[in-house]
Structure 1
Amino acid sequence: MTAAGNTGYESWGDDTRSAITRMRAAGVANTLTADAPNWGQDWSFTMRDGAKEVFAADPDKNTVFSIHMYGVYDAKREVSDYINRFTEAKLPLVVGEFGDRYSDGDPDEDAIMVTTRSLGVGYLGWPRSGNGSGVECLDLVTGFDAGRLTPWGERLFNGPDDIKETAEEAGVFKGTGHGGSGARTTG
């Protein structure tokens, strides 16, 4: 695949369809994630407008699309329009990265969290810890210590529409006691 940053993104659809076809032909059966071009932010709407054709290229219909919502998504209208286009088309989407601040603008994290919740779309706050180069504001915890939430981590885990309020245990782990094998014992 070619790079799909801010140059070369025009080939994202062809490259992604080709990659899906090759992986399925090689026997890869798990869920595939197609990350958006433009360093994940899809400011060109290449993924948004081409997702239907990419999804159709997967014979297993087991591809999910991932958008990174940073400075490009600084208003509720932009957030809801983007996510709604996928849900209305019945295409699987996850907000694969977002934060409450970023070097290229101030994403509307409240709109991201409420919109994903209302439409049944998943999200991942980004990242746990260890950023540098001016984006340390994205760290959820200080020094990789889960007991030391940053302001962004506090918002993501303990604010409105947060992880604590919206998370559900995956069905594969229910009733196992510690998650993992899914095996149950009776006695």
Structure 2
Amino acid sequence: MTLRLSAILLAAGASSRMGRPKALLEYRGETFLDRQIALYASLGARVICVLGHDASFIASRLRRAGEALLVLNPAPESGQLGSLQCGLRALGPADDAFFFTPADSPGVRPETLAALLAGFDPQTDGFVQPRHNGLHGHPVLAAAAMAPRFLSLAPHQSARDLIRNCRRRFISVDDPFVLLDVDTPETYQALAEGRLG
């Protein structure tokens, strides 16, 4: 069965620890966000990028902006849940499932996404997550039926709260990038030098 997919890329944060927008950091010749747009678009997914802090600056520097729907989170200080909710409001009505992931995970492999999709049934699964070395990471693949439940969460709650309390399966993958969040200059330097992944 071919799934009708969207992918929500969360890029609204202030990147305060990094000191510059993480979405525009480069990895293998492309910005983090451009790489992810290309990756998810290659699956046939409708790509939704949620921007907030520095939105105009980021949008003006994306090479693949025309391949994605850019959505503004007007209150990015509300955190990732608020950004996810902004992205969910832009889902297509016919979607079977959606990925969501932070923009600072640039190296996830296409095979990882293929494994998640192969192991996913939107009729019986709430969520599927990759697992590497016993730890689960990003992206999360969710059934479209989960969208209203995310949208009903209050600001003091988190997406993690919902995911933990729903039907969830893990798919083991040989991809250390599912665990990587590039939050600091030191982590980015290690990534750029090939010491991660």
TM-score by length of 2: 0.28
Q: More strand per residue: 1 or 2?
A: 2
Larger Rg: 1
More relative contact order, 1 or 2 (CA 8 Å, 6+ apart): 2
